[in-house]
Homo-oligomer: A and B are copies of this chain.
C-alpha cells in the first residue's frame, strides 16, 4: 500500500480540491487592509448565494460548535425556554450549549433512526412560550435529514427563533434560508464546503437581530454585535484565518461553477448509489429511504461483524477511513461520508473497500455486487 494514498470517507473533514489547497498557499495579508475587505466581501456574497439568503452572514474563525454557541449566546437570556429537537449526537450537543447559555431546555426526543415529527413539534409549540427551536438539519451521527422547510413554517408563526445546525448539509443539500424562514443557520468549513477545518459561518435574520439586541448573555469572541459593526467595513472583529478564507473563496468558486442544482443533484445521486450498493451487499441502513442523507450514510454492521474492526481493516490494509457510530450507535454502525469533493468513482472505491473488508472478516459477500449497484444508479442517471 502506498502510504500516501489515503481515502477519506469520514463525514468531515472531507477531501480538499487541489485548487483550494493551492489558493491557501497565497501570502497572508493584513486583515485591516482593503485587499482583505475585497476578499471577505466576495466570500460573504458567494456564501449568501449558497445559503439562498439576503440575511446578514458572517464567516467565523472557529469550528461549527463555536458557531452553534454564537447562535445561542446572542439570542438566549438565562431562563429562556428553548425547544430542542433531539435526533442524535449533534442535536444533543446543540442542547448542551443551550443549557450552558442558561436556557431552560425542553427536550423533544425522537428516535435516532428517523426524522423529526412535525405534528409533535406543532403540539409542543402550542403549549410553550419558546424563545428558540433548535434543529439539526442533517444529523451527521445517523445520516438522517430533517424537514427544515416544514419546520420553518411552524416556527415562523410563533415568537421563537429557528436555529439550524447545517454543519453537514450546507453545500451538499439545498437550503433556501429565506424561503424556509430560518433565523440562524450555522455551518462549518470541513464538510460539503470542501475546506480544511477552521472556519464556520452564521446567517442572521431580521427576527433574530431583534432578539440579539435584547440579549444579555455576555460574549466577546462570539459577539454578533461586533461582527455586525466590522462587517460593514468588510472586516471581522478579531483576527480571521486568512489562508482558510482564500481557500473558502476558491471552494465557493468551484461550487458556483458547477452550479447549485448540479451540486445538490450530485450529492443526492451519490447518496442513492451508496445506499443501493450497501443494500445489494445485504447490509441494512439506519435511515429510512425518504429521509436518507445525501451527504452521509449510516450502515448497521451485520450480525457477527464488529464495525470498528471492519473500519480498522479498511484503514490499515487499504488506507480507507470511514467513521464509527457515536453515542448510542457506537459499536453498532459505520458511517460512509460522501460530501464535498466527491465523485462517482470515490463512491465506487468506498464500496469496493467495504466489500473487501467484509470478505476479510469472513462475511459472505459477493465481491463487486455493491459496486455494480452503484454503477447502475450512475448509468441510469446518464440516460
**What is the interface of chain A, defined by CB distance below 8 A to chain B?**
6, 8, 10, 12-16, 21, 24-25, 27-31, 33, 61-66, 69, 96-97, 100-102, 188, 190, 196-198, 218-222, 237-244, 321, 323
Across the interface, do B198 and A243 meet the contact criterion of CB distance under 8 Å?
yes
Neighbouring B residues of A239 by C-beta, 8 Å: 12-13, 63-65, 188, 190, 197
Q: What does DSSP make chain A's interface, helix, strand, loop or mixed?
A: loop
Of residues A33, A96, A196, A222, which shows the largest number of chain B Cβ atoms within 10 Å of its Cβ? A196
- Inter-chain CA distance A324–B238, complex, in Å, is 17
Report whether A65 and B238 are in contact in the complex, using a CB–CB cutoff of 8 Å.
yes
Q: What residues of B have a CB within 8 angstroms of the CB of A237 in the complex?
A: 65
Contacts of A27 in B (CB 8 A): 6, 8, 15-16
Q: Determine the distance from Cα of A243 to Cα of B190 in the docked complex, in whole angstroms.
A: 11
Copies in the complex: 2
- The answer to whether A8 and B28 touch (CB under 8 A), given A65-B220, A220-B69, is yes
Closest B residue to A13 by beta carbon equals: B28
| A96 proximity list for chain B (CB < 8 A) | 220
Query: Which residues from B are CB-within-8-Å of A25?
Result: 21, 24-25
Query: In the assembled complex, which residues on chain B have CB atoms less than 8 Å from the CB atom of A190?
Result: 28, 239
Q: Are A100 and B218 in contact (CB under 8 A)?
A: yes
Are B24 and A243 interface neighbours, CB within 8 A?
A: yes
Pair B63/A221 contact, Cβ less than 8 Å: yes
Contact residues in B for A10 (Cβ distance below 8 Å): 30
Q: List 24 A-B contacts (CB under 8 A).
A: A6-B29, A8-B29, A8-B30, A10-B30, A13-B30, A14-B28, A28-B196, A30-B323, A33-B321, A61-B197, A63-B239, A63-B240, A64-B238, A64-B239, A65-B220, A65-B237, A66-B221, A66-B238, A69-B220, A100-B218, A101-B218, A196-B242, A197-B240, A198-B243
- Expressed in whole angstroms, the minimum distance between the Cβ of A66 and any Cβ of chain B is 4
With CB as the reference atom, state the residue of chain B lying closest to A217.
Answer: B218
Q: Across the interface, which residues of B come within 8 angstroms of A14, CB to CB?
A: 28
